[in-house]
A and B are shown apart, each in its own frame.
Chain A
Amino acid sequence: MNTNFSAEDRKGWMSLLASSEEARLTELWQDYGLDPDFEFLRAPEVGGIMIRGRMGGTGAPFNAGEMTVTRCALSLSDGTVGHGYVQGRCKAKAEIAAKIDALMQTGAAEALNEAVLVPLAKARQAQKTARASKAAATKVEFFTMVRGED
């Protein structure tokens, strides 16, 4: 059992898994190789959540529209409970996310982090940096034309 993690750590890995690319996550999970025995507490289920915005970006909330989410919950044979909440409609992704959430609470955490979470985080950061770089290249540089002698 790995008790050496905070709610903030758990929030971090669950968030990373939620918006990870399905194909990449599956690949990394398969490469990691360990597939623990488990029992579903809640079988994978597709649903929606309502996304809220704020009036003027800072005021009172309003409902902006929904997005698809898939969730599941499972327990490992040692009783550790894992939750998967992921964007989209992929049940397999939710299942992998729940297994990783459970294993990250066990002694497997360090190896799993190296094998799956670190590469996911790197890929995500690289993608964000690439977009930000392209946006930066479209930033307008103004210059003023001075006319006349003085």
Chain B
Amino acid sequence: MYVAVKGGERAIENAHAWLAEERRGDTGVAELSLAQIREQLSLAVNRVMAEGSLYDPDLAALAIKQARGDLIEAIFLVRAYRTTLPRFGSSRPVETSGMACDRRISATFKDAPGGQVLGPTFDYTHRLLDFKLAAEGDVPEAPAAEPRMETTPHITAFLQGEDIIEREPFSDDVPGDLTREPMAFPAGRAVRLQSLTRGDEGFILGMAYSTQRGYARNHAFVGELRIGVVPVEMEIPELGFCIEIGEVELTECETVNQFKGSKTVPPQFTRGYGLVFGQSERKSIAMALVDRALRWEELGEDNLGAPAQDEEFVLSHSDNIQATGFLEHIKLPHYVDFQSELELVRKLRREAAELAETLASREAAE
């Protein structure tokens, strides 16, 4: 039986009005502009773009403001907006080897061509609160040096030269798109990567960490981590040629993993891959570790029953919008569902009490 209950319109309206007021906070404090959020909370903006799966810094800043800084709520807003957009097409695969790198490090080769470029990193900071930031002040211009204008080659390309790392099979196949077709298992690596790059950072981080702690250990080296801007090229259907339709900042992580070989493949290094919108280093490394763990079957490794090897488990639980939708729906009215549960428990208790009474009177009679 379904019983519709009406009511609460006024309460909802007033709750939303209060939400707007609380969002604004103390009016004696200057209001945040979208530009301030975009420029000064850029890593939050990056996370909303990555998990919202839509590259648009202004839109992500608006979502963060509207969500009062609740990033999952902001991601929800971006995802909802995304569904209203007509799809004009797909880009050519971005050429990350041509990236204008702000940061590029390798944990495997000290003297990699192009060098170890730290970029604007938190690494090597002391993680002590900087109370100078509590006051307003000018920031001195960062030092500059002779710029490197040529492209920075991928580290894996050097290993490939020695044929000591697996080759990524090249193709121009049209990849599956989980925004268009419902996920089915086995999903295949293309859909896995799409799912991981928009997955919840905390979840992907936890999964990656579990592999490091021994649940399907695959001993990853960060062969390379690079952050920078790449052009996005798309063919314009009316013109029949490609233009650079924009630029996006990406973080790419390539891991180099031990592999003892199989019946058909000699011992060599294998690869995990992370590619995430914005400066999203933690997420990108985590994505590469989970990608590698999920590749156990195609590499002929054993299924150790570890959560990070379980494609269905990982992909079905990594999306924080799906997860929060299902989790939070249980706070909404379930009056009728609960009424039936209540009736059932009362009935069971009544029956249990009657049974106990019958047994007691039988004992007394004996």
Contacts and interface: CB of A to CB of B under 8 A. Distances in A.
A14 interface: yes
A38 to B, nearest CB: 16
B210 interface: no
A66 to B, nearest CB: 5
B96 interface: yes
Contact of A59 (B145, B170, B236): B170
A64 B277 contact: yes
Range, interface on chain B: 35 or more
Contacts of B190: 55, 60-63
A85 interface: yes
Contacts of A56: 156, 168, 254, 271, 273
Given A19-B246, A71-B88, A60 B54 contact: no
A1 interface: no
B336 interface: no
B50 A14 contact: no
Contacts of A61: 93, 171-175, 190
B270 to A, nearest CB: 10
Nearest to B88: A47
B96 A46 contact: no
Contact of A135 (B55, B147, B156, B179): B147
B59 interface: yes
A138 B190 CA distance: 34
Contacts of B154: 57-58
Contacts of A57: 96-97, 154, 156, 168, 252, 254, 273
A51 B171 contact: no
A47 B82 CA distance: 9
A48 B172 contact: no
B247 to A, nearest CB: 5
Interface stretch (B115-123, B130-138, B321-329): B115-123
A31 B56 CA distance: 28
Nearest to A138: B118
Interface stretch (B15-23, B24-32, B99-107): B99-107
B117 A136 contact: yes
A20 B197 CA distance: 27
A49 B87 contact: yes
A138 B85 contact: no
Contacts of A15: 231, 243-245
B117 A64 contact: no
A131 interface: yes
B116 A139 contact: yes
B135 to A, nearest CB: 25
B104 to A, nearest CB: 8
Contacts of B82: 48, 66
B129 interface: no
B156 A51 contact: no
Interface string A108-146: 000000000000000000001111111111111010000
A22 B13 CA distance: 37
A88 B231 CA distance: 14
Contacts of B56: 67-68, 88-89
A75 interface: no
A135 B101 contact: yes
A83 B235 CA distance: 13
A64 B197 contact: yes
B85 A66 contact: yes
Contacts of B179: 63
B173 A60 contact: yes
Interface of A: 7, 10-11, 14-15, 18-19, 45-69, 71, 73, 83, 85-89, 128-140, 142
8 contacts: A7-B241, A51-B232, A53-B94, A56-B273, A59-B169, A68-B59, A83-B239, A89-B58
Given A54-B93, A64-B194, A140-B118, 16 more contacts: A15-B245, A19-B231, A19-B246, A47-B85, A53-B250, A53-B275, A57-B168, A59-B171, A69-B88, A86-B245, A128-B100, A133-B144, A133-B145, A135-B102, A136-B144, A139-B117
